[in-house]
Amino acid sequence: MNNSCFSQFQPLAAIATTPQSASILQHLHSNLELELWLPQSLEGTENTRFYQTNLSEHLTNIWHEYRAFVFCLATGAVVRLIAPLIESKATDPAVVVIDAQGRFVISLCSGHQGGADLLAQLIAQQIGAQSIITGASDSLRLPKIDLLGLPYGWRKGDGDWTGVMAAIAKNQTVQIIQEVGSTLWQQNLPDGHPFYFGFPEANQQFQPQGRIWISATQRRFASNSDFPKVQWHPRVLWIGIGCERGTSAQLIETAITDTLQKYHLSSKAIAGIATIDLKADEVGILELCQSWNLPLRTFSAQQLSPIDIPNPSEIVQQEVGTPSVAEAAAILASNTDNSLIVAKQIIKLPHQSGAVTVAIAQPEQEYIGRQGKLYLVGIGPGSLEQITPAAKTAIIQADVVIGYSLYLDLIKPLLRPEQIIESFPITQEKQRAQRSRELAQWGLTVAVISSGDCGIYGMAGLVLEELQAEDWDGKNPVVEVFPGISALQAAAARVGAPLMHDFCAISLSDLLTPWQVIQKRLEAAAQGDFVTAIYNPRSQKRTQQIVTAQEIFLKYRRNDTPVALVSSAYRLNETINITTLKEMLKHPIDMLTIIIIGNSSTRRHTDWVITPRGYLGFDG
């Protein structure tokens, strides 16, 4: 199966040298896409590749072909193997080591930028092992500042990154000056974090020991500066281009770099290029977009003409049917009014024909440049043990985790300091669905969590409905649903095997379903002799429904039909009452209770509830 949570590490190589370690990696292999390399001597294993040379030579050959390596080998051996190959933490692949018993997953090298820390955590969840991360910011529960902007597509600029990270590790004050880009990362900083936001008041004594600029400006830091500084560049600049047919990529590039330089803007802050649709096949523009890896947005003359711009041109109007290309296209691409920050510049080169016009618009929201993903995740009834490894992986990998605060608390140990955590009150399901769609459409990976299974009275349906209403094409954002153990399974497991025969689930909440419909289904379930799991049985305001439900069931089932009331299954304050249909309302029932009403053959045996698979006496 291809688990998309690992896509950022693809291609991924796994290397083992003994049958035991090979089998640990084989197990991983069945859950995610990796290339398993084994020595020739272990031949006979399926889905693997074999290396002919010694491992050191082999590794040298394949080192640049993979984004990540997982070794199931002694750490010492791995250190010796990779030592001659490692170059820089900006470019080295992630290296993760698993011990031969599969108990520990160690992030060895390229923990931050290479993503080894995250990969180690994801693999640990897959194989039920402990991840070992030794980076300093991890222990402080602070976001790693060299990863800070990655979810939002920011680009890392110049500066003394090691110096600023060292200051943070020592808990020294680091000033943050954020001029553009999302501030979502600031939402979940732990108490006592070392960041100081903005500029101090004139009368305030303040001496930072590090500074992080988050801006579109290109800053040059003096090497003898008294404290380390770094800069992140959110991609907020839409470059509008107008040019004559046949203009060279070189002239266009010069025009853009000259303009950026004149206004002290960083080329790393460019979101993309915008122009008129007549230029969609302009070779120079296409070449530039390709070599700078930028998107091209084009607009028709009809779209461009009505845009309010400072420098309309009669000549351009006559030629292409709009008074502005560069300015209007930049504004349109930025999707925001009043976003123009650099009005039309006309650039020519001394010995070249043609001219290029450049204008720059800057919207509020940065361009992420990735396809968003929505993970709809069921976290099971409550304890971390009851979450599937796949669901844990999805939660750990997500940029944003959205859910009801109680459920976010339940999964707290899985959350990373870099993640954006958005908790909503229990009633705001629709807002949660809307917010998740917006963030995923923007380009983030969003995990929306539900208790139990996300598709059983959970968030999955709401989010998909929300997408459908927005004309979703089924692909973008990518949606993946991660099933969880629903309350009816959890409760059944706590009392034995009450769901062994045909059963159904009915929610008594009439918030979204008319009460007449619920009543009709209760009647049908009771009459049809289904074992029935009742969700949302009673809230503070809604108390009558469960009384009616009991009356309906009593019409068709004996007074002594076994009923299990399970509250907060698999959570700290779990309570279980096994009672009868007649007596059930004498016990506490609330919104954390699920009720399982037996069918006509369900029995109680000591503290257990059993629904026989076949009718008594039938031995076919």
Contacting positions for ligand SAH (CB under 6 A): 381-382, 450-453, 456-458, 486-487, 490-491, 535-536, 566-571, 591-594
Q: How far apart are CA 585 and CA 587, in angstroms?
A: 5
Closer Cβ to ligand SAH, 315 or 512, answer by number = 512
* Least Å from the CB of residue 599 to ligand SAH: 20
Which amino acid type is present at position 524?
A
State the minimum distance, in angstroms, from the CB of residue 399 to ligand SAH: 23
As beta bridge partners, residue 400 has 420, 446
Q: Which CB, 149 or 455, lies closer to ligand SAH?
A: 455
Of the pair 26, 536, the CB lying nearest ligand SAH is at 536
Rounded to a whole number of angstroms, the minimum distance from the CB of residue 407 to ligand SAH is 9
Nearest C-alpha neighbor of 69 from the set 23, 105, 19: 105
Q: Tell me, what amino acid is at 185?
A: W
Q: What are phi and psi of 484, to 5 degrees?
A: -135, 170
HSE at residue 602, side-chain half, CA atoms within 13 A, is 33
Residue 5, token pair as written in the block: 């949570």
Beta carbons of 377 and 448 less than 8 angstroms apart: yes
The Cα–Cα gap between 208 and 211 comes to 7
Asked if residues 570 and 382 have their Cβ atoms less than 8 Å apart, the reply is: yes
Nearer to ligand SAH, 456 or 578 (CB): 456
Minimum Å distance from CB 160 to ligand SAH? 49
CB of 565 to ligand SAH, least distance (A): 9
Q: CA–CA separation, 492 vs 609, rounded Å?
A: 8
Q: How far is the CB of 576 from ligand SAH (least distance, A)?
A: 10
Sign of CA dihedral 492, 498, 501, 507: negative
Phi, psi of 331 (to 5 degrees): -65, -45
Q: Can you spell out the DSSP letters for 417-431?
A: TTSEEEEE-TT-HHH
> Do 403 and 436 meet the contact criterion of CB atoms below 8 Å apart?
no
Quick one: 114 or 380, whose CB is closer to ligand SAH?
380
Residue 525: closest CA among 592, 596, 603? 596
Looking at the Cβ atoms of 145 and 594, the one nearer to ligand SAH is 594
As measured in angstroms, the least distance from the Cβ of 175 to ligand SAH is 44
In the complex with ligand SAH, which residue's Cβ is closer, 353 or 405?
Answer: 405
Q: Which residue is nearest to ligand SAH (CB)?
A: 452
CB atoms near residue 205 (< 10 Å): 5
Question: Between 3 and 567, whose beta carbon lies closer to ligand SAH?
Answer: 567
User: Helix 19-31 to helix 116-127 angle, to the nearest 10 degrees?
Assistant: 100
Angle (CA) 478 484 489, round 5°: 155
Q: Closest approach of Cβ 539 to ligand SAH, in Å? A: 8
3-state secondary structure 503-529: EEEEECCCCCCCHHHHHHHHHHHHHCC
CB of 433 to ligand SAH, least distance (A): 14
Which residue, 161 or 457, is less far from ligand SAH as judged by CB? Answer: 457
Measured between alpha carbons, how far is residue 195 from residues 62, 118, 186, 210, 230 in Å?
41, 24, 10, 9, 14
The distance of closest approach from Cβ of residue 560 to ligand SAH in the complex, given in angstroms and rounded to an integer, is 23
User: Given the complex with ligand SAH, which of 255 and 495 has the nearer CB atom?
Assistant: 495
Residue located via tokens 């807002």: 431
Count CA atoms within 13 Å of residue 353 on its CB side: 3
Instruction: Give the H/E segment covering residue 461.
Output: helix 459-469
Q: How far apart are CA 462 and CA 450, in angstroms?
A: 11
For the bound state, the minimum distance from the C-beta of residue 477 to ligand SAH, rounded and expressed in Å, comes to 22
Shortest Å, Cβ 4 to ligand SAH: 23
Q: Which is nearer to ligand SAH, 236 or 564 (CB)?
A: 564
Exposure of 267 by Cβ count < 10 A (0-12 exposed, 13-18 middle, 19+ buried)? middle
- What's the closest the beta carbon of residue 40 comes to ligand SAH, in angstroms? 49
Report the residue count for the chain: 620
- Produce one character per residue of 302-341: b if its CB has 16 or more CB atoms within 10 Å, e if not: eebbebebebbbeebeeebebbbbbbbbbbbbbeeeebbb
**Comparison of 393 and 486: residue with beta carbon closer to ligand SAH:** 486
The nearest distance, CB 519 to ligand SAH, in angstroms, is 18
Residue 69 or 535: which CB sits closer to ligand SAH?
535
Q: Is the dihedral of CA 540, 541, 547, 550 positive or negative?
A: negative
Q: How far is the CB of 49 from ligand SAH (least distance, A)?
A: 42
Choice between 298 and 593, CB closer to ligand SAH: 593
Q: Which is nearer to ligand SAH, 99 or 453 (CB)?
A: 453
